[in-house]
Structure 1
Amino acid sequence: MNTANRITLARIALIPLFMLFFTKWPAWLADSSAVFEFLNRYGLYLAIAIFLLASGTDKLDGYVARKYNQITSLGKLLDPLADKLLISVALIMMVEVDLIASWAAVIMIGREFVITGLRMIASAQGITLAADRMGKWKMVLQVVAIATVLLGSTPIPWLASVHADDIFMLLAVGMTLISGLNYLIQNFKVLKLNDM
């Protein structure tokens, strides 16, 4: 296994750690264990750091794969899967604790299901649909929005006062819709739908 794929697998391995640190543990558990007390007190800060680290590895594995000619079929499968898992898990956990509206998460996760379905249809026909620039901007905005919402739930008063979390989340949802529609319009015509 090459270095680029190891970096991608490390991103996937960070997801359970993000979940562990993000979770708010029951008071009775925190009272009886110093570990869970620590997690309740500092877990959110660690979860934010892990999310940002995992998000950063997305650019790193792509850079390594291109620079050292390590682009593989496994990497092409794992890289987008790691992105989708990281974003989806963060969104679902944020909905669970009422940090974001469920409709925003449904739009962002739903877009990934639709695009993945389109790619599966194309793959069955021997067609490869590549990611586009708008999809990359969508990913960047989603990472910024999630990080801002997470930071906004910590004691950082200026973030709350300017509602940066709401602004970036709305931008991320908007870019998710626009990039999804653009991807469908650009690629739907290449599929051989007469055989379906």
Structure 2
Amino acid sequence: MTANIPNLLTLLRVLCIPGLVLVILSDFPGRDWTAFGLFALATLTDTLDGFWARKMRQITTLGQLLDPIADKLLVASVVICLVETGAIKAWMAVIIIGRELAVTGFRVIAASQGVAIPALFLGKVKMALETVVLAILLLGDKMPDGLAGLGPIGLWLVMALAVVSAAEYFIRFSGKVLRPSPK
């Protein structure tokens, strides 16, 4: 691994995942706040690694590969745990995780053809909202009165953005990627 601060922050995000999963699936006083704190730390590393890489010109091929994988592992792990705790329905997790698999698979196919697919605005909005909604859902009934309803509403918005942003990727780039191979 190219040892620079952004890549180490990405690695820290991945290393947070097993502990976060254990905390979410455990039952102890303070579990919700502990899970929230670990998730906040993990998502903070996502913000910091990109900022640092750009600011200090430490963008690496490895970092460009690992950062989105770390994001997807974090989101998928938390979503699956929230299904287990009953905070999210399984079919909702299928939409959220299915979108990530579809877009990532599409990007892999594109990369194998020499086509780079950048992160699009809607995808970034989806990720930002998804992070906030998952944090709210991790807090569960610890959310202040009147704000707990934001989790389920936000989850519907995340699912809608997941579908729409995936469609945007496929519509904008399918002509460059899904072309017939020459015979």
The equivalent residue for 1:94 is 82
- Matched residue type, 2:154: F
The equivalent residue for 1:190 is 176
CA distance 1:155–1:138, shift in 2 (3 Å): closer
1:46 maps onto 2:48 in alignment: no
The equivalent residue for 1:81 is 69
Q: CA-atom RMSD, angstroms?
A: 1.4
* 1:127 alignment partner, one of 95, 115, 120: 115
What is the CA–CA distance in structure 1 between the aligned matches of 2:91 and 2:129, rounded to whole Å?
17
Q: CA offsets, 1:10-43, max 9 Å, x none?
A: 1111111111211225xxxxxxxxxxxxxx1122
- The alignment's TM-score, normalised by the length of structure 2, stands at 0.93
- Matched residue type, 1:105: A
Gaps of 5+ in 1: 26-39
Q: Is the 8 A contact 1:14 1:50 kept in 2?
A: yes
- The alignment's TM-score, normalised by the length of structure 1, stands at 0.87
- Matched residue type, 2:168: N
Q: Is the 8 A contact 1:148 1:168 kept in 2?
A: no
**Higher normalized contact order (CA 8 Å, seq sep 6+, divided by chain length):** 2
- Matched residue type, 1:75: G
Q: CA deviation at 1:44?
A: 2.1
User: Which is higher, the Rg of structure 1 or of structure 2?
Assistant: 1
Q: Is the 8 A contact 2:32 2:140 kept in 1?
A: no
Gaps of 5+ in 2: none
The secondary structure found in structure 2 opposite 1:153 is helix
